[in-house]
Amino acid sequence: MQPINREFKAVIQDMTHIYMGAQMSVSEAISFEDVPFKVKAIFNKYFSKPEDMDKNIGEIIGSVKTDDFTYQVLKQLKLKFKVGIYSDKNDKRQYKSMTLGPDEFIRLHNSEEEYFDEEIVFNKLALLAFST
């Protein structure tokens, strides 16, 4: 049995945001009990192509095209994406965490830059206003 890596696969909430680990697969997010039902419904409706169920959420969202309807969903939800970007500075490898909007996140996924998807941040007010 292979050990499960739970890093960046957690769901944490505060009063205004839901923080979801971007390394979760869509099937994990839908079956995880700490994920709010509305988030599960959004993933089920907009991100659950049968061939993508085992891909991680960050990878799926990063491959969205700006002319897709799913892109409009990302904008309406006001999603933010926390990523770690690797860089070389003074002959040392550095890891810098940044928070990006949907446009920058998709641009990063289409670039050659080395990065790691950490988490997806849902705004609860935008989620409340969103109707599936």
Q: What is the pLDDT of residues 69-96, one digit of tens each?
A: 999 999 999 999 999 988 888 888 888 8
Answer yes or no: is 6 within a domain.
Answer: no
User: What would the mean pLDDT of 5-21 be, rounded to a whole number?
Assistant: 85
- Give the mean pLDDT of the chain: 88
Answer yes or no: is 3 within a domain.
Answer: no
Q: For the domain that residue 40 is a member of, what is the CATH number?
A: 3.30.465.10
Lowest mean pLDDT among 17-26, 86-95, 109-118: 86-95
- CA–CA distance, 118 with 87 (Å, rounded to integer): 16
Range of the domain at 86: 11-129
The total of structural domains in the chain comes to 1
Answer yes or no: is 55 within a domain.
Answer: yes
Inter-CA distances, 114 with 7, 19, 22, 87, 117, Å = 19, 23, 16, 8, 10
pLDDT of residue 132: 65
Answer yes or no: is 121 within a domain.
Answer: yes
Answer yes or no: is 40 within a domain.
Answer: yes
Confidence bin at 3 (pLDDT 50/70/90): very low
Answer yes or no: is 76 within a domain.
Answer: yes
